[in-house]
Amino acid sequence: MSRQFNMSGPIEISQACVDDPFWSAEQELVRTAVLPYQWRALNDKVPGASPSYCMHNFRAAAALNKRLNGQEGSGDFQPPTYTNQGFHCLPEDPDHPDPDKFYGYVFQDTDFSKWVEAVGYSLAHHPDADLERLADGAIDIVCAAQLDSGYLDTYYILNGMNRHFTNLKDHHELYCLGHLIEGAIAYYQGTGKTKLLHAAERFADYVAATFGPGDNQLHGYPGHEIAEMALIRLYETTGIKRYLDLAAYFVNQRGTSPLYFEQEDRQRAAYEHADFTIDDSRPAPYAYYQAHEPVAQQRQAVGHAVRAGYLYAGAADVARLTEDPALNEAVHAVWRDIVDKKLYVTGGVGADADAESHSYAYDLPNDTGYCETCASVAMVFFARRMLQLDPRSEYADVMELALYNTVLDGMAMDGKSFFYGNPLEVRPQTKRNKDPRYSYVPIVRKRWFGCACCPPNLARLVESVQDYAYTLAEDGSTLFVHLYIGGRIQADLGEGSIELRVQSELPWKGRIRLEVEASSDGRTTLALRLPSWAGGDAAADAVTVHTGQGSSNAISRRLEQGYLYLSGPWKQGDRIDIDFDMPVRVVAANPLVSQDAGKVAVTRGPMVYCAEERDNGANLHLLHLDGSALSGDASRVKVEPFIFQAGAYLDDPQAEGHVDTVSRSMVRLQVPAWREPAEGADTAPLYRQWQPVRRMPTTATLIPYFAWSNRGENEMRVFLDVD
């Protein structure tokens, strides 16, 4: 692998800030609505919501720890009797949980870690003494729960340490480690405080001693990945190579023969005197965990889509830092498999709701597709790691697509309710009739989830979105601009530094301005992404450089893999003006996607659009975009700025689907269309002699996908018939 020149790393959170009409609103929602709500949720203080028991568990573990002076208890592991398969434990009397018992999901500790991560990002740019005091108090409790050995997972601390690390496949201890590291680093970067970071390091040290190739070590790896990329981040933060080695071990050991999870399953069955059978409900056992074959040999994206995305992100990190050509080939192949065969037009992944998993090639159902919010978060992680390996605009295109659509769709306009899954087509009658085929398909957002992975995952990503906008080449020569988000960026270059002010009218207009606010001496390259929605390489013509000398001749221009490299002696006052074309695009899927045959999606810039019943009436399957009007080009579509009025009122404002009044500027599309009439259909026969359909001309009103389901329960479609 000789791509060293092109490798890049992220900017530290404190070096970039957001000041952007679109993204500041999202961050503000997270800061003012999500973080306080999440804190109450962690402490089981949200009326009507499934209790988290997260802080309860840390308190219980801290109390036990105090009694035992930080040592492991000597008692045998007692799997909770009040549990559903050891996975979700609920108190027998919900009003009186036992203060000494573990409750919630086995991975419930991560609720804290994800919250403190978002808090760390927020504090980096919005100092808030009350919030910081709250977080410090929580950190004290969490750290008090840590054993002297460094181990820190309340499920085993409370239920019996003698069985810890015996069910890596499903019991998420290493997942808890990963999230703890991510949270600790963010809090350290946001506040400079090291207490939680040291706790995370101690847990990581314990794991590094326990896992590895040594005879006395366990040869296992996480059942739910994330530790891989977290350990890389810990390595990049601390410089301690042990963490890189452990990440590399986890990635390279995964799926090697004999399969660790199969051995573990056999041993656990023997211990429990239970039968061992291989789960053959899927084509490849353990593919759900991406642990069916060595990662370096994997070519297809399989299994649980969040696990998969986290693994691929971690593997790309390891490939980059260990310069491993086999791993590099694997992540590139898996990326292609996703983007060419398994990615929804919205940036969603994971078509198979039953297993929250990638489905097979070209299987992209619109109505039952899962598209978990977290899976799109994971795709953003993966895409940025691919950019770090290899700056091609394709990666940033997908990253941007997922961010603006499936990620943001996860949160209501008022920041108070959330989607776990993000379907491309819903009909409320599936819910009214409790149709089991659609049991995973939400029609409106929920306040919270017992398994609350998505809201805090979205929160931590939105609060750190600037981290995905930029990377810096390893040699400090090039600052890559992947996303155009207003704000400031200060980057330490090889031979100095540069500071930019960015103004952006995205996602509604293609106008962007980058101003050099400060620059040290030396030749610097700014590599600007040319989005595919703006025409790819052709969009370079939309980029104009104004240098302080009144001429930009000193700045060289070079196009490579979808980036415009502008190199030269950048000076304070230099300016780049961009006016990307933002045409409406009418997009068809590959003919092998049977679910999209005869249909199109409409996009503009990074936004994917959808039709809601609220604007277009019911029975959206009878709404057709007018193919003859659209053929050739999409110029007959009217692009219309408007004020979106969110709000859905229910008697109980805590109920599913309630959205407070929010107004937000957006752009909607008015598309020539026709409708098949359905008057009298409910009294007409079920079958009739076919005749060409009578076309009633109309206009389809399309709104940005992320805004749907903010005006009450109604039908929605992304893919619409065209003819």
Residues catalogued as catalytic? 356, 453
39 contacts: CB under 8 Å, gap ≥ 6 = 115, 134
Cβ(249)–Cβ(211) below 8 Å: yes
Element (H, E) at 50: none
Give the nearer residue to its own copies in terms of CB position, either 343 or 459: 343
- Residues 251-310, interacting with its own copies (CB under 8 A): 281-283
Strands 496-504 and 511-519: antiparallel
Among 32, 78, 194, 433, binds its own copies (CB under 8 A): 433
Positions 312 through 371 that interact with its own copies (CB under 8 A): 339-341, 343, 345, 352, 354-355, 359-360, 363, 365, 368
Question: In whole angstroms, what is the distance from residue 503 CA to residue 361 CA?
Answer: 40
Work out how close the CB of 196 gets to its own copies at its nearest, in angstroms, rounded to a whole number: 41
Contacts with its own copies by CB under 8 A: the residue count is 61
Candidates 61, 25, 55; CA nearest to 41 is 55
Applying CB under 8 A, among 434, 550, 643, 652 the residue interacting with its own copies is 434
Measured from the CB atom, is 520 or 628 closer to its own copies?
A: 628
Q: In whole angstroms, how close is the CB of 685 to its own copies at the nearest point?
A: 7
The full 3-state SS of 90-153, as one line of letters, equals: CCCCCCCCCCCCCCEECCCHHHHHHHHHHHHHHHHHCCCHHHHHHHHHHHHHHHHCCCCCCCCC
Q: How far apart are CA 2 and CA 14, in angstroms?
A: 31
**CB 621, min distance to its own copies, A:** 4
Min CB(721)–its own copies separation in Å: 6
Query: Coil, strand or helix: which one is 666?
Result: strand
Report the nearest approach of its own copies to the CB of residue 529 (Å).
Answer: 19
Token reading at 396: 């940033």
Alpha carbons 189 and 183: distance in angstroms, whole number: 10
Q: Nearer Cβ to its own copies, position 368 or 547?
A: 368
180 CB-near residues (< 8 Å, 6+ apart)? 109, 110, 113, 152, 196, 199, 200, 203
- The residue (of 64 and 588) whose beta carbon lies closer to its own copies is 588
- Residue type present at position 676: E
Select from 429, 572, 635, 665 the one that contacts its own copies (CB under 8 A): 429
Instruction: Indicate the residue among 344 and 448 with the shorter CB distance to its own copies.
Output: 344
Q: Which of residues 32 and 594 has its CB atom nearest to its own copies in the complex?
A: 594
Residue choice 523, 621, 636, 664 for contact with its own copies (CB under 8 A): 621
Nearer to its own copies, 656 or 660 (CB): 656
Please name the helix (run of DSSP H) or strand (run of DSSP E) that holds residue 642, with its range, or none. Answer: strand 638-648
- The nearest distance, CB 717 to its own copies, in angstroms, is 10
Per-residue binder mask for its own copies (CB under 8 A), 689-708, x = binder? xxxx----------------
- Residue 257 or 689 having the CB closest to its own copies: 689
Binding residues among 625-664 for its own copies as defined by CB under 8 A: 627, 630-631
For its own copies, the binding residues in 54-113 under the rule CB under 8 A are none
Q: Could you write out the DSSP letters of every residue in 302-340?
A: -SBHHHHHHHHHHHHHHHHHHT-HHHHHHHHHHHHHHHH
Minimum distance of its own copies from residue 702's CB (angstroms): 14
Nearest-5° Cα angle at 174, 451 to 336: 80
437 counts as binding its own copies under rule CB under 8 A = yes
Contacts of 278 (CB under 8 A, 6+ apart): 262, 285
Residue 191 corresponds to which amino acid? T
Q: Which of residues 507-546 bind its own copies (CB under 8 A)?
A: none
In eight-state DSSP terms, residue 214 is S
> Binding residues for its own copies, per CB under 8 A?
281-283, 339-341, 343, 345, 352, 354-355, 359-360, 363, 365, 368, 427, 429, 432-437, 585-594, 597-598, 600-601, 619, 621-622, 627, 630-631, 676-678, 681-682, 684-692, 721-723
